[in-house]
A = this chain, B = another copy of it.
Amino acid sequence: MLVRDIRQELERYRAICRARGIPCTRQRLAILEAVLTRTNHPTADEVHATVTRRLRSVSRPTVYRVLEELVEMGLIGKACHPGKAVRFDRRTDLHHHLVCLRCNSIIDISDPRLDAVQVPDTRKYGFKVSDFRVQLRGLCTKCLKREEEK
- Residue numbers of A with Cβ under 8 A of B are 78-86, 98-101, 107, 109, 111, 113-114, 117-120, 122, 125-141, 144
Contacts and interface: CB of A to CB of B under 8 A. Distances in A.
A3 B23 CA distance: 57
A117 B137 contact: no
B122 A128 contact: no
B82 A78 contact: yes
Given A80-B82, A82-B78, A120 B127 contact: no
A117 B119 contact: no
Contacts of A114: 117-118, 120
B80 A81 contact: yes
A119 to B, nearest CB: 6
Given A82-B78, A99-B80, A133 B131 contact: no
A33 to B, nearest CB: 22
A69 to B, nearest CB: 15
B138 A128 contact: yes
A86 B83 contact: yes
B113 A126 contact: no
A94 to B, nearest CB: 11
